[in-house]
Amino acid sequence: MMACRVLALALVTLLSVSQQSAPQAAAFADEYRIKAAFLFNFAKFVQWPPQAYQNDPEHQVFCVFGADPFGPVLDHTLAGKQVEGRSVVVRRVQDREELRRCQLVFVAAAEGELLPEILTSLGNSPVLLVGDDPDFVRDGGAISFVLRKGHVRFAINPKAAQQARLKIDAQLLDLAEIVKGKP
Partner 1 sequence: MRRARVRPCRWALFLLFVCRGVSWSLEVPSGSQDLTELSLEELMGLRVTSVSRREERLIDAAGAVFVLTQDDLRRSGARNLPEALRGVPGLHMAQINASLWAVSIRGFTDRFANKLLVLVDGRNVASHLFSGVFFEGLDIPLSEIDRIEIVRGPGGALWGTNAVNGVINIVTRSGRETRGGSVEVNLETGERSIVGSGEGPLGTGSTYRIWGAGSEVDDLTQPGGGSARDGRTSVRGGARLDGGLGNGEYNLSAGLYEMESDRLNNTPQLDAPYARLLPDPLSLTGGYTSARWSRDRPASRSTDTLQVYVDLIRRSERTGTIKVRTIDIDFQSNVPIGESHDLLWGSEVRQIADELRTDAFHFSLSPSQRTSLLWSVFVQDQISLAERRVHLSLGSKLEYSEVTGEWNALPSVRARWNLRPNQVVWASASSSARTRGRSEADLEGFWLATVPTESGLPVRIVFTRGEGLGSEEMVAWELGYRSQPSAALAFDVAAFHNDYEHVLASCVGRLEPAAVPVPHLIQYMEGCEAGTATAEGLELALTWTLSPRWSWSLSASRLNFSTRLGDASAQWDGTSPRHMAQLRLQGDPAPGWKSDLAAYYSDSLPGAGSPAFVRLDLRLERELRPELSLELIGRNLLDGEHSESGDPFTGGVAAEIRRSFGASLRWRL
Task: List residues binding partner 1 (CB under 8 A).
Answer: 1-4, 6-8, 10-11, 13-15, 17-31, 33-34, 36-38, 40-41, 45, 64, 67-72, 75-78, 81, 92, 108-110, 112, 132-133, 147, 149-153, 171-172, 175
**For partner 1, the closer CB: 51 or 94:** 94
How far is the C-alpha of 12 from the C-alpha of 146, rounded, in Å?
42
**For partner 1, the closer CB: 68 or 98:** 68
**For partner 1, the closer CB: 78 or 105:** 78
How far is the C-alpha of 183 from the C-alpha of 6, rounded, in Å?
61
Residue 123 C-beta: closest distance to partner 1, Å: 26
Which residue type occupies 41?
Answer: N
**For partner 1, the closer CB: 45 or 53:** 45
Residue 7 C-beta: closest distance to partner 1, Å: 4
Residue 16 C-beta: closest distance to partner 1, Å: 9
Nearest to 89 by CA among 101, 98, 100, 71: 101
Residue 57 C-beta: closest distance to partner 1, Å: 23
Nearest to 77 by CA among 109, 45, 29, 133: 29
HEC-encoded secondary structure of 117-182: HHHHHHCCCCCEEEECCHHHCCCCCCEEEEEECCEEEEEECHHHHHHCCCEECHHHHHHCEECCCC
